[in-house]
Copies of this chain bind each other. A is one copy, B any other.
Amino acid sequence: MIKVVAKNYFQEGKIDEGIALYNQLIEETIKEDGCIKYELYQDIKEPHILTMIEEWEDLTKLNAHEDSEHFIRIFPLLNELTEKDSEFHIYKRLS
């Protein structure tokens, strides 16, 4: 199992649009083979920070997700709404 944390800083006024796009992405992604969890979170103090916390069976399934039609279509639209590049980490669990 691998864990993904992808943090995005949205432009003020673009948060709701970002959430709507994420919801479209989630709806398609949770149907994918190898997707265990694909969840959207919002920072409680800084609501323009939206973070996906994900679980995938392995790196191969995550790579397939990044090649999916819905990811290739929606990810650039999300990027247009953010202040800066996404902070993206892939983790393995230690304990």
A89 touching B51 by the CB < 8 A rule?
A: yes
User: Interface range on chain A: under 10, 10 to 19, 20 to 34, or 35 or more?
Assistant: 20 to 34
Residue interface bits A5-45, CB-to-B below 8 A is 1, else 0 = 10100000000000100110010000000000001111111
B51 touching A53 by the CB < 8 A rule?
A: no
* A51 with B5, Cβ < 8 A, contacts A39-B95, A95-B22 known: yes
User: Which secondary structure dominates where chain A touches chain B?
Assistant: strand
User: Is A48 an interface residue when CB atoms closer than 8 A count as contact?
Assistant: no
* Chain B residues whose CB sits within 8 angstroms of the CB of A43 once the complex forms: 89-91
Q: List 7 A-B contacts (CB under 8 A).
A: A23-B95, A40-B93, A40-B94, A40-B95, A41-B94, A42-B92, A49-B89
